[in-house]
Amino acid sequence: MRILIGRMVKPAFALPIADLLDSNFLFWGAAAQFYAEASEDFVRDTIFTPIGIDGRCRSSDEFDTRQYNWPPDGQPGYIEPDRLLSCGGFGWQLSTNELGAFMAHLRYTGTLINSDTRKQMDTLFLGWLDPTEFGWSTGTFGLYHNHGGDWFHTPGEAHTCIMKFPINVEVSVAMNSERNFVRHQCTILRDAFDASWVA
């Protein structure tokens, strides 16, 4: 999609379709940069900016966010590089607050999608993890729509999860260290929600 959006929005570089594959695309220098910037601008202008999020494919923080091993081993941690030329299904850098804001707009407003599309998204698990494959999607109070991500590097890892519950509650979590335990981060969110109720 990163390459397709760039080609649709700014078709100045008419590269052969075969050369738009990631394996070839990164070697096209100025053309690759051109398409990647066009795609990032399009996503930011149509999705992130209207809901007040400064999403981008590279860090805009004053201080680098690092990913660490756990337990700590004295290494300086992993700094996520500029992902502009490979940004798409991964590479967008958002804070947990921005993830929460995205979830709230996705659920409660028509800024991103309308109610019919939202219903289809939830029913068909478009963008959500399918509960038939991921056990943490079902809890004491029904179906919990969610999506988790795991990012492994040496040294350091990142693990995230966004989850929306049936009672109009959305949660996002991001861990910038190795997940040195058995349970997945989405399982932790589900269990915390289920355990928060008093009989």
Spans of all domains in the chain: 2-195
Q: How confident is the model at residue 28 (pLDDT cuts 50, 70, 90)?
A: low
Q: What is the pLDDT, as a whole number, of residue 178? A: 86
State the SS3 of 67-134: EECCCCCCCCCEECCCCHHHCCCCCCECCHHHHHHHHHHHHHCCCCCCHHHHHHHHHHCCCCCCCCCC
pLDDT of 80 higher than 80: yes
pLDDT of 21 higher than 60: no
Q: What is the pLDDT, as a whole number, of residue 39? A: 87
